[in-house]
């Protein structure tokens, strides 16, 4: 894509695979060639991948369309938003928010806050389901918000899609893309807002 000089390229061997690999590519500008900065294994949704209904790139017609609660990670190309963490991180080149137990991501399709990051104590409670952004585990200790189904968020198309720390290499997610903590840390310090990073996620076949 024009003006995107960092790409997080994820590919899985099949539509139902829960494992894949992420390749970090970077270039100085559109006239320069892409260079591989790093690569490492990832896990995706427990039901594999499903395509973004509004994808701007061609995807396999046999892939199901991503829906709320399907346990699938979205396939397509997506901008990235804020890095988030339980800790106050310094020296990042991305927008950042330190999350605590007051931060929710709403996944209730009937809520005005669907697929939004909110502060629980200031929101009008019109939702019955949400994700805590600070978990009892280290899953969201470090993460990146993926701008899937955003601007506008279409009810039912899927919500709360992140890059985050995995439980282990054999445990899938509910629809996010996860990796080892050490790789998550490398990723968030590599990302640069000025390079307009995007996540490109596809099935290899």
Q: Pairing mode, if any, of strands 96-98 and 73-85? A: parallel
Q: Per-residue pLDDT tens for 187-205?
A: 999 999 999 999 999 999 7
Residue 39 pLDDT greater than 70, yes or no: yes
- Rounded mean pLDDT, 165-184: 98
Domain that holds residue 184: 6-203
The total number of structural domains that make up the chain? 1
Residue 15 within a domain = yes
83 CB-near residues (< 8 Å, 6+ apart): 89, 92, 94, 95, 96, 97, 142, 143, 144, 145, 188, 191
Euclidean distance between CA atoms 12 and 153, whole angstroms: 26
Write down the pLDDT at residue 205: 73
In the chain, the percentage of residues whose pLDDT exceeds 70 is: 99
pTM of the full predicted structure? 0.96
Half-sphere exposure of 155 (CA within 13 A, CB side): 7
1 pLDDT band, cuts 50/70/90, is: low
Residue 48 within a domain = yes
């Amino acid at each position: 894509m024009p003006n995107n000089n960092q790409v997080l390229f994820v590919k899985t061997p099949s539509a139902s695979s829960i494992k894949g690999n992420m390749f970090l590519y970077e270039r100085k500008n559109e006239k320069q060639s892409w260079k591989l900065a790093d690569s490492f294994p990832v896990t995706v949704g427990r039901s594999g991948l499903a395509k973004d209904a509004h994808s701007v790139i061609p995807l396999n017609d046999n892939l199901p369309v991503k829906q709320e609660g399907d346990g699938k990670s979205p396939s397509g190309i997506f901008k990235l938003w804020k890095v988030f963490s339980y800790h106050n991180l310094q020296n990042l080149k991305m927008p950042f928010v330190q999350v605590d137990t007051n931060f929710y991501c709403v996944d209730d399709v009937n809520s005005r806050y669907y697929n939004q990051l909110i502060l629980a104590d200031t929101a009008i409670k019109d939702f019955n389901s949400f994700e805590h952004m600070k978990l009892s585990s280290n899953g969201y200790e470090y993460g990146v918000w993926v701008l899937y189904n955003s601007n506008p968020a279409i009810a039912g198309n899927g919500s709360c899609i992140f890059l985050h720390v995995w439980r282990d290499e054999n445990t899938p997610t509910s629809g996010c893309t996860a990796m080892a903590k050490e790789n998550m840390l490398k990723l968030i310090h590599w990302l640069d807002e000025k390079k307009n990073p995007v996540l490109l996620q596809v099935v290899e076949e």
